[in-house]
Structure 1
């Protein structure tokens, strides 16, 4: 929950997140975002051991998304990013400068970070700290991902494959899931999903060490659906399964739950 109060100096201080920076507090207006990319930075987890296996990383959460998956855990920043305060650029860069020697990388996630205007400019600033970046993406914007890889702004890509192409309308918000509402717009039809993810698969074939493919075991998916999803992947790649957890009313990171659940390779 976002809490606001006045500091002793009378400035408006926002507790944007308990993990957003040392002390978790920023002075609103003291250092506004300098670009549309920074304006969509909505959260920072200072240390994670599970978001990039084998690395100690921080995690940047960007607002906005091109899908409306009814099982999303970050629905608030995905679909109503303006309702969440942005984190000041200077404070985040200051955190990275102070902690760069303790970190093995930065994970960029969302929402859907590939939707963020001028994301490349944000990543260029992060590159100054000599920290590799992993991008979490739904794979629906392959042009963006390819440009980031070509510019060497991203070292690794984790692609969330929602399930078999035929189920994408339900999995991404058009028709909803059993017991969950459908959401207007923001969905992907089977042909669009197959086309965009197919391009991601082609990229992975040329950069096999950079890609990971994941699937969350949401209620709609059966073991047969999981196997069908695995068969969609390019040769030589495994499908990492992520246990499904009921989303909370308000989206926020839950590193402890992720840390305890771990990953399962199918």
Structure 2
């Protein structure tokens, strides 16, 4: 069994916002390599061990029964790229004949590149937190400006090579000024857009959300990049994070 199956703590049967233009199911993996103060899935990211693990057989039963109704599968988190066995999980899911998208903060570019070149993922939604210099604050002290720049610039290089596979977004958290957003936009390769998502203050001290809807904002969902036609992703909020089967 792929070890990543043991890290699935949530499953959404049908989402119309996690992959713009597609009807997808969403798999939530626990754990994260950042401690963002504005995280909307803080328990999944930081306290995943307190959440139940969903049964592989239940997810596979759903996919077997409903895959003809779906246009894709999304893996989100947490941070999916830090989970051991992600490639094997992706291979298992690709066997259902559906496109696969992975949401990521972009700090593990080796994982993204491997998945892409091995044909185990079709698309990535990448979260650009802000200017490099602000990453220590934006990440809760886990990520230096140098690490953020080195990692994301490798992702941008991949995006130039595979333009249809990458989308980028940013949540406009309170510490970001207009100039910060404008600066971060300049990082993206030519032809890509940065989807800006509104921030909503936390309802309690440790829980922040990324827009005003009642559904959680999809991990890193953004506008379709690069080409002339850009799909507008109406990201929503899953208020209390993922639900069990």
TM beyond 0.5: yes
TM-score (norm 2): 0.84
Contact 2:27 2:74 in 1 (8 A): yes
* SS of residue paired to 1:246: strand
Shift of the alpha carbon at 1:255?
A: 6.2
Shift of the alpha carbon at 1:134?
A: 0.6
Is 1:102 aligned with 2:69? yes
Q: Deviations over 1:22-58 (max 9, x none)?
A: xxxxxxxxxxxx3420111010111111110000011
CA distance in 2, matches of 1:135, 1:69: 19
Determine the structure 2 residue equivalent to 1:136: 103
Considering only aligned residues, what root-mean-square deviation do their CA atoms show, in Å?
2.0
Which consecutive unaligned segments of at least 5 residues does structure 2 have? 219-232, 236-245
* TM-aligned CA distance change 1:247 to 1:128, over 3 Å: farther
Is 1:63 aligned with 2:30? yes
Shift of the alpha carbon at 1:252?
A: 11
Count of matched residue positions in the alignment of Structure 1 and Structure 2? 217
Shift of the alpha carbon at 1:262?
A: 2.6
Q: Deviations over 1:172-217 (max 9, x none)?
A: 002xxxxxxxxxxxx1110110000000000000000110010001
Contact 1:57 1:104 in 2 (8 A): yes
Query: Quick one: which of 88, 110, 115 aligns to 1:121?
Result: 88
Determine the structure 2 residue equivalent to 1:158: 125
CA distance in 1, matches of 2:172, 2:77: 19
Contact 1:160 1:214 in 2 (8 A): yes
Aligned counterparts, 1:169-188, within 5 A? 169-174=136-141, 187-188=142-143
Query: Quick one: which of 156, 164, 168 aligns to 1:201?
Result: 156
Which consecutive unaligned segments of at least 5 residues does structure 1 have? 1-33, 175-186
Is 1:244 aligned with 2:199? yes
* SS of residue paired to 1:232: coil
Determine the structure 2 residue equivalent to 1:262: 234
TM-score (norm 1): 0.77
CA distance in 2, matches of 1:96, 1:197: 33
Higher relative contact order (CA 8 A, sep 6+): 2
CA distance in 2, matches of 1:83, 1:36: 18
Query: Quick one: which of 188, 194, 198 aligns to 1:233?
Result: 188
CA distance in 2, matches of 1:98, 1:205: 37
Contact 1:106 1:133 in 2 (8 A): yes
